[in-house]
Amino acid sequence: MPLIKMETSVTLSEEEQEVIVSALSKIAAEAIGKPEAYVMALVSPATMSMAGAKGPAAFLDVRSIGGLNQRVNREISKRVADLLGERLEIPADRVYIGFTSVQGVDWGYNGSTFG
């Protein structure tokens, strides 16, 4: 049930959104070690300021029931920074990522919870 959610100040075409959301889904699945069939990935536009300045930036929220740890979080951070730098020209120092480990009981799905 990993979730990877990105908000960005970069205006994306529909095609770019599809490419990025697909890449984020794959990054989360591979790094966390869960099947991509369980991953939710989303990309949303946002008005942002970072370090007091406008410009290309992104915030990502990564949540998972299990699977997150120092190694995994660093891998996701590196891969996301590389992706956003290459595809969207967002410098790595303008990307924040929050990681949250969630208890199964605190995550709803299909009319119930995972715990």
Range of the domain at 17: 3-103
- Assigned domain for 71 exists: yes
What would the pLDDT profile of 53-98 be if each residue is shown by its tens digit? 999 999 999 999 999 999 999 999 999 999 999 999 999 999 999 9
- Assigned domain for 35 exists: yes
Q: What is the pLDDT of residue 55?
A: 96
Q: How far separated are the first and last CA of the chain, in Å rounded?
A: 12
Q: What is the pLDDT of residue 57?
A: 98
- Assigned domain for 34 exists: yes
Active-site residue numbers?
A: 2
Average pLDDT estimate for 12-19: 96
Number of independent structural domains in the chain: 1
Q: What is the pLDDT of residue 24?
A: 98
Confidence band for 112, pLDDT divided at 50, 70 and 90:
very high
CATH code of the domain containing 33: 3.30.429.10
- Assigned domain for 92 exists: yes
Q: What is the pTM of this model?
A: 0.95
- Assigned domain for 112 exists: no
What would the pLDDT profile of 23-57 be if each residue is shown by its tens digit? 999 999 999 999 999 999 999 999 999 999 999 99
8 A C-beta contact, residue 66 and residue 101: yes
